[in-house]
Structure 1
Amino acid sequence: MRRLLFSASASLCLGLVPGCATLPAPGPTPAPLPSPTATGRGGAAATVDVRATAAAIDILRAGGNAVDAAVAAASVLGVTDPYSCGIGGGGFMLVYLAREGRVVTLDHRETAPQALERSRLYENGAPIPLEPLVTSGLSVGVPGSLLGWDEALRRHGSRPLATVLQPAIRVAEQGFDVDPTFFEQTRHNVERFRDFSSSAALFLGPDGQPWPVGSTFKNPGLARTYRLVAQGGPRVFYRGEIARAIVDTVTHPPVVPGAARTVRPGVLSLEDLAGYEVHVRPPVTSSYRGYTLHGMGAPSSGGLALALTFNLLEAFSPASLSRADFLHRYLEASRLAFADRNAFLGDPAFVSVPEAGLLSRDYATQRRSALDGARASTLAAAPGNPLPFQGGATAAPTSPAEPLRRAAEETVLNKETTHITTSDAAGNIVAYTCTIEGEGGNGMVVPGYGFLLNNELTDFDLPATMDAPHPNAPAPGKRPRSSMSPVLVLEDGAPVLALGSPGGSTIITTVGQTLVNHLDFGMPIHEALAAPRVSQRNSANHVSQAEPEFLSTPEAAALIARGHGFTDVGPLGATTAIRFNADGTVTAVAEPRRRGGGSAMVVTPVK
């Protein structure tokens, strides 16, 4: 998001709601010039924003480790990239502990309130339409980010949360230059923000329009929130004054008088916030052409969908096929993997996820028989049956035959969320994807505290009838299925690559194609990341989503000849990665153009 910097302009915030944006002169502390690629030693970081990357590097240079750096970057992104992530949301963090040679994951996905019975998401016997549900209190899950940061630091960090939050506090207080991406994200949300007094006061000027490019954006409300947390710990967020403000915002949305929008209140309670827990889970582990891949398990679908995709692909040699032929098989493998993802994956506290069966090589061999090596599928693939490979009885998948109101990430191309990748001199690595779901979450800023709430509960699937089964149907206390896919690749026990991306369900295909580009096609990591993308997620026809740059490639023409179709959806994802080189250096990489371009830095550059 943050390639271009502009001089500040002197403006005044005329809003009277606490936590509004203030824009006085002088301007913010200048940010370093961003670069999408950096190679060196001593640790590295890559994010979508130069200030977040710089905060991570500053922490590393001061002796912090990769976990400290990742949390510092995430908290800064809560200021500079508030439409994508922040303490009003949640995420999945994958951590490689170098001394132990071990990978752990921290699931701090949002949960449904205990009072959110499935019937609350239906009206007149039908699911509430997606658009009004997004901008409502009903879409808000219990935020997990802050407790996730604290848990990660307590278990694996070297600095306390109070220390790690200091860079974000400074950015929130001093402000940053509004760039074209921030302006456009605000513009996309103008109509929603105008309907909420707290959101309008923070993100819109006195004329009701986005703060212009070149102006200085400050967030004193979020600075205050971070200071309260630094002083009192996460307790003030989950049990104290911030908790009360969150619950009041969800149950009594701050709608301005005269707003035409009908905003449904939610049912989040203080007990929901006080009872939130971070789950430490083992990674999903698979192999591909001699590499070991570690990813997230359920309720994220990323690790299992990628593992199945690559298990299906491994039978095909990229050296013996043209690039178009191999991409054809990749797209069809992704189609099959998404059919199984949609049928079997949900919160493992509520659904028996057949992880062993989906990871089974024997299951992949059976499933591969549904992959036509010559022609594109013209229909959506049916799910397979991995249950016999679990050692259990055969059974049909629980995916209903009737139509669904698909989760938000399925029905719209969610370009938000963000991914942070960090490493340190000791060899520890973090791949961390965090989100508030859609661009701008549910549109409501918590008054006085400067952060947007998530609309994560739209990631549940709603069958046409309230009693129809589905593994990702909502339930009290349940975590909606996610596609976030932080991944770590090792070879002979040594790290090779860490990466991840935003993008809703296209996260899985973006990460998958980047891995294919690097591991199968041999592209250097910066080229693998920048290459044009295509996404097949079991569409009901032969059409895949693609970037316009992909449509002009020879591979696209060859795939069309094999029956594929494409629709231009603009940019897919915004990946960050770190490559661990054979000479002991690391190469940090961010997007050169997508979402305005990202920022990669190392502690000690190699000249």
Structure 2
Amino acid sequence: MGFTASALRCSVPRIKGISCHVPGIEEAGVTHTRQVRHLPAVILTAFCALLLVVTYVTPSQAAPREIDKQPTATGYGGAVAALDPYGAEAGLDILRRGGNAVDAAVAASAALGVTRPYDGSIGGGGFMVIYSAETGEVTTIDSRETAPAAVEPDVFIDPETGNPIPFQERRVSGLSVGVPGLVRGWERALSDYGTMPLHRVLQPAIGIAQRGFVVDDEHQRRTENNLAVFRDFTSSSDTFLVDGEAPQAGTVIRNRDLAKTYRLIGRHGSAAFYEGEIAEAIAGAVTNPPVTPGSDRNVRAGEMTTDDLAAYEALEHEPTVVNYRGHQVFGMGPPSSGGSTVGEALNILEGFDLGEMEHADALHHLIESSALAFADRNAYLGDAAYVDVPLQGLLSKEFAAERRALVGDVAAPKPVAAGDPWPYDDGDGGTAGDPATTSEDGSTTHLTVADKHGNVVSYTFTIEQIGGSGITVPGYGFLLNNELTDFEPDPDHPANAPAPGKRPRSSMSPTIVLGPDGEPTAAFGSPGGARIITAALQVAVNQLDLGMSLPEAIAAPRLSNLNGASTGTEPELLNGPEGAALRARGHQLSQLGTIGNVTGVAFLPDGRMQAAAEPERLGGGAAVVLHPSD
């Protein structure tokens, strides 16, 4: 415990007692009051003087430190894997203090909103998949952003040209901002499945935001990539730049506006975000973006209101699930396309013995199955509250067998056509969209947590592009999303056209795998836009078919086909014998630097947990366990 001689308010009411407020403790979520009765005035005076020099220093006043990170950690008592060591440590701190996996996931999420603010924060939304050890069941929390009530289907059509507004102009605008859902998602998850109050789990993040954190190379790089955008908004420049430039790796930066925002949310719950001053500031930033004077950027205003924010609800949905090689693979259903597309591709692959194939042959089947599943994803997936999604058909074994028959020994010309899942679904047939339409852009963040009781959380959240819309809410320290660009700009798209209150289609794929005994074997997920789906699919195949451990499955080189003519391929595969073999089968390969940035937790046969993150991609991730065994 540290002490300081900071100011102390002390009153002596009628000499009967003394009530002293110690500043800093209330901010930490604890009110500290001492009552001393029937003491002479001289002793009371001395008591107050003593307290002047022993005021408690909160964690937010401690010096910031750089946290070492490791990609794999094995042990007992709980595990956290995240893209950033501050996020992983925040989750571990809550586990250490008796919180469960949901508590720790919210704490880690809030911390990542400080140290990875361009990937996911309270200005966006996400999907949480939860396994309950008590019930043995899996459920999901949907905090995906919604379109404001004033949004029309042609919101992204330029009225002067009749053509879609260019993507970057759509992105950096108020038009692209959906109603943020993350805070309501936190509150719902904690209320239904957590054990700690919101103000408690926000404390690690408040400390980081207040005292600062050490910038790493990845933070510097992402800021530099957004310099032009951030400079065009006064609030973004003030919050994320230092004298108009990106903060340099190794320096310390703070976000005291975000610390203030977290305190308000901790004190008053989600109402502090969706009503009152924060809601007014969000709506104001959308309808009147804080553009820097003299900027020549054409920043279009949106039409979000405080009523849109007040009306937001986080929803609980049934997960998607497929049986694969004796395992149950759970994912996120609509408006995410992750669970259904990963599930359909696995169903197709189940008819091939990938474990007995040469690696290049297995990769060929992975590419072909992924393209078929993406054709169906692009044609049918959207917000199930607005469109009929043939989810049962897409995940049926019969439909998978029909699609599997299209996989040959050589690469099929792409894009492939969408199939017809409606005969395998209880609903009515609907119109299919363009099977080739998909977005490859975007970023996000993912974390995975397990606790000593066996509860598991796989949690992906985002503000869409790296840096979202580029618009920071003035005075509150967080960027707003550009999630509405996940809608198709075509106002007549049958599944994913914009509409008031609608949630745009997502590719986020938080995944939990249960073994034949019904117990968890692994949980994982990734950022990476639409390639999230192929990253999650390949990690699953690496484990369940190719016999890799979770760290090996994450580290292995990846490729990705989204039903396009070319398959994006990481260099090790592109330039190795697998690349040559795939080209001989007719595949067009193109180089991608990285595909995904996976984190996960595995459950080993001896009872230990193994947290795993990327060892190299994008600077690597962070894995921690409560009681290491090594």
1:423 aligns with 2:447: no
- For 2:402 and 2:347, how far apart are their aligned partners in 1? 11
The counterpart of 1:512, out of the listed 514, 521, 537, is 537
**1:120 paired residue number:** 155
Structure 2 residue 181 is the aligned partner of structure 1 residue 144:
yes
**TM-score, length-normalised on structure 2?**
0.88
Q: Equivalent residue for 1:339?
A: 375
- Deviation at 1:580? 0.4
Q: Does 1:565 align with 2:600?
A: no
CA positional deviation for 1:45: 0.2
Q: Indicate conservation of the 8 Å contact 1:28/1:177, yes or no.
A: no
- Corresponding residue for residue 506 of structure 2: 482
Partner residue in 2 for 1:531: 556
Which amino acid is 1:235 matched to? A
1:35 to 27, 51, 70: 70
What is the Cα deviation at residue 31 of structure 1? 3.8
Superposed, which structure 2 residues align to 1:154-233 within 5 Å? Answer: 154-206=191-243, 208-233=244-269
Distance 2:99 2:134 in 1: 16
- The whole-number CA distance in structure 1 between the counterparts of 2:67 and 2:298 is 44
How many residue pairs get aligned? The number is 567
- Report what 1:275 is aligned to: 311
Q: Is the 8 A contact 2:74 2:628 kept in 1?
A: yes
Provide runs of 4+ in structure 1 moved above 4 Å: none
Q: Secondary structure at the match of 2:532?
A: helix
**Is 1:469 aligned to residue 493 of structure 2?**
yes
Return the alpha-carbon distance in structure 2 between the equivalents of residues 593 and 321 of structure 1. 28
Q: What does the per-residue CA deviation read over 1:572-595, in whole Å, with 9 as the maximum and x for residues that have no partner?
A: 111001000111101000111112
CA contact (8 A) 2:441 2:465 kept: no
Cα distance, 1:400 vs. partner? 4.8
Whether the 8 Å contact between 1:400 and 1:470 is mirrored in structure 2 is: no
Q: Give the match for residue 399 of structure 1.
A: 433
Who is 2:282 aligned against? 246
Matches within 5 A, 1:19-98: 28-98=63-133
Using the aligned pairs only, state the percent identity: 50
Match of 2:524 in 1: 499
| Bigger mean CA deviation after superposition, 159-168 or 114-123 | 114-123
Q: Equivalents in 2 of 1:581, 1:319: separation in Å?
A: 21
Deviation string, structure 1 residues 384-434 (Cα, Å, up to 9, x no partner):
0010111456x4642159xx9x56xx1x433x2000100000000000000
1:339 touches 1:381 (CA, 8 Å); kept in 2?
Answer: yes
Q: Are the equivalent residues in 1 in contact too, given 2:388–2:427 (CA < 8 A)? A: no
* Residues in 2 aligned to 1:328 and 1:420: alpha-carbon distance in whole angstroms: 30
Tell me if structure 1 keeps the 8 A contact 2:388–2:430.
no
Q: Deviations over 1:191-237 (max 9, x none)?
A: 0111100111111122x211222211100100010011111111010
Select which of 578, 584, 588 maps to 2:611. Answer: 588
Pick from 328, 332, 337 the counterpart of residue 301 of structure 1: 337
Would the aligned equivalents of 1:28 and 1:176 in 2 still touch at CA under 8 Å? Answer: no
User: What corresponds to 1:413 in structure 2?
Assistant: 441
* Selected match of 1:133 from 170, 180, 183: 170
Distance in 1, Cα, partners of 2:130 & 2:434: 36
Counterpart for residue 15 of structure 1: none
- The one of 140, 146, 149 equivalent to 1:111 is 146
1:498-555 residue CA offsets vs partner (Å, 9 max, x unmatched): 000000100000010111111111112111100111001100x2x2001112212321
Partner of residue 439, structure 1:
466
User: Could you say what secondary structure the match of 1:312 adopts?
Assistant: helix
Counterpart mapping for 1:342-381 below 5 A:
342-372=378-408, 374-381=409-416
Pair 1:321–1:44, CA change in 2 (3 A):
same
* CA gap 1:392/1:160 in 2 versus in 1, 3 angstroms: closer
- Contact kept? 1:42, 1:425, Cα under 8 Å: yes
Q: Which amino acid aligns with 2:220?
A: F
Matching of residue 384 in structure 1 with residue 408 in structure 2 = no
Give the equivalent residue in structure 1 for 2:294. 258
**Secondary structure in 1 aligned to 2:405?**
helix
Query: Does structure 1 conserve the Cα–Cα contact (< 8 Å) formed by 2:146 and 2:179?
Result: yes
Measure the CA separation in 1 of the matches of 2:258 and 2:332. Answer: 30
User: What CA distance in whole angstroms lies between the structure 1 residues aligned with 2:590 and 2:444?
Assistant: 23
User: Aligned-pair RMSD on alpha carbons?
Assistant: 1.4
Cα offset, 1:68, TM superposition: 0.4
Distance of 1:469 and 1:94 partners within structure 2:
29
**Distance (Å, rounded) in 2 between the aligned partners of 1:487 and 1:89:** 20
Distance in 2 separating the partners of 1:420 and 1:548: 26
The aligned amino acid for 2:157 is Y
Amino acid aligned to 2:195: S
**Bigger mean CA deviation after superposition, 51-60 or 544-553:** 544-553
Q: Equivalent residue for 2:52?
A: none
Shift of 1:127: 1.6
Aligned pair in 2 of structure 1 residues 141, 391: CA closer, same or farther (>3 Å)? closer
Contact 2:64–2:214 (8 Å) recurs in 1: no
1:378 Cα deviation after fit: 2.1
Letter matched to residue 62 of structure 1: R
- 1:22-55, Cα deviation, whole Å (9 max, x unpaired): xxxx994224311110000101000011111011
The one-character-per-residue Cα deviations of 1:467-499 (angstroms, maximum 9, x if unpaired) are x33201110100000000011111120110000
Contact 2:378 2:434 in 1 (8 A): no
Tell me, yes or no, if the aligned pair for 1:27 and 1:175 is still in contact at 8 Å.
no
CA distance in 2, matches of 1:355, 1:68: 31
CA distance in 2, matches of 1:82, 1:512: 27
Q: Please state how far the C-alpha of 1:462 moved relative to its aligned partner.
A: 1.7
Aligned partners of 1:236 and 1:597: how far apart in 2?
35
- Per-residue deviation, 1:320: 3.2
Distance 1:427 1:205, change over 3 A: same
> Does structure 2 conserve the Cα–Cα contact (< 8 Å) formed by 1:77 and 1:86?
yes
Query: Structure 2 unaligned runs (5+)?
Result: 1-60
Q: Distance in 1 between matches of 2:595 and 2:430?
A: 33
1:306 is paired with a residue whose SS is helix
User: Do the aligned residues in 2 keep the contact of 1:136 with 1:266 (CA within 8 Å)?
Assistant: yes
CA distance in 2, matches of 1:396, 1:45: 42
Give the superposition deviation at 1:366. 1.2
Q: Quick one: which amino acid aligns to residue 431 of structure 1?
A: S
Counterpart of 1:473 in structure 2: which amino acid? Answer: A
Contact map agreement 2:380 2:389 (CA 8 A) in 1: yes
Partner of 2:628: 605
| Partner Cα separation in structure 2 for residue 300 and residue 33 of structure 1 | 34
Offset from partner CA, 1:88-136 (integer Å, 9 cap, x none): 0000000000000010100000000000112332113222111101000
Distance in 2, matches of 1:566 and 1:377, equals 14
SS in 1 for 2:379: helix
